[in-house]
Amino acid sequence: MTEKVLLLGSGELGKKLTFAYQELGRQVIAVGHYADAPAMQVADGFEVADMTDSMMLDAIVKKHQPDYIVPETEEIHSECLKIYEQQGMTVTPSAKANELATNRKAMRHLAAKVLKLRTPNYLYASNLDELIFCVKRIGLPCVVKSLTSSSGKGQSLIRESTDIEVAWNAASRESPEHSRVMVEQYIPFESEITLLTITQKEGPTLFCPPIGHRQARGDYQESWQPAMIKPDQLQLAQKMAQKITWALGGAGLWGVEFFLTEDRVYFSEVGPRPHDTGLVTLAGTQNLDQFQLHAMATLGLPIPEISLEKAGASAVILTESSDTRPVYSGLDEARKVPQTDVRIFGKPLTRPYRRMGVALAYGEPEDDMEVIRDRAQEAASKVKVK
Ligand SMILES: Nc1ncnc2c1ncn2[C@@H]1O[C@H](COP(=O)(O)OP(=O)(O)OP(=O)(O)O)[C@@H](O)[C@H]1O
Ligand SMILES: [Mg+2]
C-alpha cells in the first residue's frame, strides 16, 4: 500500500514538501488551521484543524493512520507527537526535536549548558521588575523574546531603559500565561547564516552550503547561497550543528541559525524542518532543494551527496493590504529581469506583511553575489499584491 504522510502545517514550505513526498511515491494529507492553505491545494487530502487541540489531532491521526507525521509548524500539541512516536509512527525528525523547538528555554539549556555551544548570554524574567534587573546584568542593547513564539513575534530590541516596559508587554503577551521571557545579549553580528543540516537514518550528517540572510521585524526578507564565510567559522558552525541535531535525534533536514562576528560563531536556534531562508534552494543552487532533502532523509532514503550547482538569491514578496483575495500584477515585468523566477504561494487572503511569494535569482558560483541579490530584489519589487 502507498505510504501515507500526514503533513502538520500547510503553508508555502508545506506545499513544496507535499510535491517532494509525492514525487517519491507517497500520498500526502495536509493539515492546516485555515481552509485552502497552500499545501492543501496540492495534497491528496486535507483537514482543517487547530493542531494545538489534542482531541482534534488524535481524531485526524486515527482517521488517516499515517506512516509518517511531518510537522511543518510549531503550533502543534507536542505531547501528542510523543505519543504517536511511542505508538510506532515516525514523527520527523523526532518528537523530542519538535517539542524543544517550541520551547526556547529548554532548547537553550540543551545548547548552552548541556552541549556547551557558544550562544548569546541570556537570562529569564517573570515580571517587569525582574526584567529591569536582567537588562542591567546583560547590558544594553539587548533583545527580549517570548519563550514560545516564532517569526519574531513578541520580540523587541531594548536600546535604553525606557524601552523595557514596552518590551515586557510585547514578549509576555506571546508567552503562555504571561509567564516568562528571555533576555538575550545583542550580538552586533557581521552576518547571520542558516546552515541546512541533514541527518540520515543511515549515513553521515550532511551540510548544505551556508545561506546568508537578512531579517526585518524578526522576519525573513532575503537570503542567498552560498554565503561567503571564513572556512574555520564554517567548520565550527558545522560541528555545532552536528552536535545539536544529534542530541535532538532522528532523520531529516534542519535549519540551524548562527550569528557570526569577526572572531566568533554564536548558535542562535534550530528548526527541525525546512527553513524559510532555505527557499533560496528553489533557485537551483543545489542538486537537491531543501524540500527534496527533507523528504528523502525523513523517508530514510540515502542521500549520496549535496553539491552546489549555482549561486542564488531569494527575496520575499509581501503584501500591505489585509483580508482580501490577492490579485497579482507586475509578473510580466518581473519576468523581464534576467535569470530570475517568481513563485506565488497561493495563499487565499492577504494580511499586512504576509509573505505571498518569493522572487529567485541565480548565476554562476563565481558571479558577484551583490548583483544576484539585486536581481532577486528587483524582480520581487515588480510584483504587486492588492
Ligand atoms: N541576540 C541577538 N542579537 C542580534 N540579533 C538578534 C538577536 N536575536 C535575534 N536577532 C535578530 O532577530 C532575528 C529573529 O530572531 P530569532 O530567530 O531568535 O526569532 P524567532 O522568533 O525564533 O524567529 P524565526 O522563527 O523567524 O526564526 C534573527 O534572525 C536576528 O536577525
Ligand atoms: Mg530565527
At 61 the pLDDT is 98
**Per residue in 184-231, pLDDT tens?**
999 999 999 999 999 999 999 999 999 999 998 878 999 999 999 999
Judged against a pLDDT cut of 80, whether residue 326 lies above it is answered with yes
Sequence-distant contacts of 135-141: CB under 8 A, at least 24 apart: 135/161, 135/164, 135/183, 138/183, 138/184, 138/185, 139/185, 141/186
| Architecture, CATH, for domain 121-185 | 2-Layer Sandwich (3.30)
Is 252 tagged catalytic?
Answer: no
Which pLDDT does position 176 carry in this prediction?
67
pLDDT in tens, 352-367: 999 999 999 999 999 9
Measured from the CB, is residue 152 less than 6 Å from ligand 1?
yes
The predicted pLDDT at position 38 comes to: 98
What's the rounded Cα separation, in Å, for the pair 53 and 56?
5
Gap between the Cα atoms of 359 and 270, Å rounded: 25
Closest CA to 42 of 30, 32, 53: 30
* Domain residue extents for the chain: 4-91, 121-185, 191-385
* Residue owning the nearest CA to atom 11 of ligand 1: 218
Position 173 scores a pLDDT of 83
| pLDDT bracket for residue 36 (50, 70, 90) | very high
Mean pLDDT of 60-82: 96
pLDDT at 85 over 70: yes
Q: Which one-letter DSSP state was computed for residue 327?
A: -
Q: What is the mean pLDDT of the chain?
A: 96
What's the pLDDT tens digit per position in 129-167? 999 999 999 999 999 998 887 777 889 999 999 999 999
**pLDDT the model gives residue 339:** 98
> What CATH class has 4-91?
alpha beta
Burial label, 24 (beta-carbon count in 10 A; 0-12, 13-18, 19+): middle
With a pLDDT cut of 70, the percent of the chain lying above it is 99
Decide if 150 is catalytic. yes
Is the pLDDT confidence value at 59 over 70? yes
171 CA → ligand 2 middle, Å: 15
**pLDDT at position 110:** 98
Q: What is the mean pLDDT of the segment spanning 269-280?
A: 98
Phi, psi of 249, deg, nearest 5? 85, 155
- Give the residue carrying C-alpha cell 529548554: 106
Predicted confidence (pLDDT) per residue in 11-21, tens digit: 999 999 999 99
| Residue 319 pLDDT exceeds 80 | yes
pTM: 0.97
Residue 152 Cα to chain centre, angstroms: 12
Q: Is the pLDDT of residue 48 over 80?
A: yes
DSSP codes joined into one string, 121-147: -EEEESSHHHHHHHHHHH-SSEEEEES
Between 177 and 173, where is the model more confident?
A: 173
Which of 238, 362, 259 shows the shortest CA–CA distance to 309? 362
- Is the Cβ atom of 151 under 6 angstroms away from ligand 1? yes
Residue 186 CA, closest ligand 1 atom number: 3
Asked if residue 321 has pLDDT above 90, the reply is no
**Phi, psi torsion values for 142, nearest 5 degrees:** -145, 165
Which pLDDT does position 152 carry in this prediction?
77
- Answer whether 119 contacts ligand 1 (Cβ < 6 A): no
Average of per-residue pLDDT across 295-313: 97
Task: Note the pLDDT of residue 68.
Answer: 98
Q: Is 276 annotated as catalytic?
A: yes
> Given this model, what pLDDT does residue 185 score?
97
Cell numbers 481524531: residue: 59
CATH number, span 191-385: 3.30.470.20
Cell numbers of 48, please? Answer: 482543517
Residue 154 CA: nearest ligand 1 atom is: 21
Query: Per-residue pLDDT averaged across 321-331, rounded?
Result: 92
Residue 269 CA, ligand 1 centroid: distance in Å: 8
Which tens digit of pLDDT belongs to each residue from 231-258? 999 999 999 999 999 999 999 999 999 9
Q: How does residue 178 score in pLDDT terms, banded at 50, 70 and 90? A: low
* Arithmetic mean of pLDDT, 43-47: 98
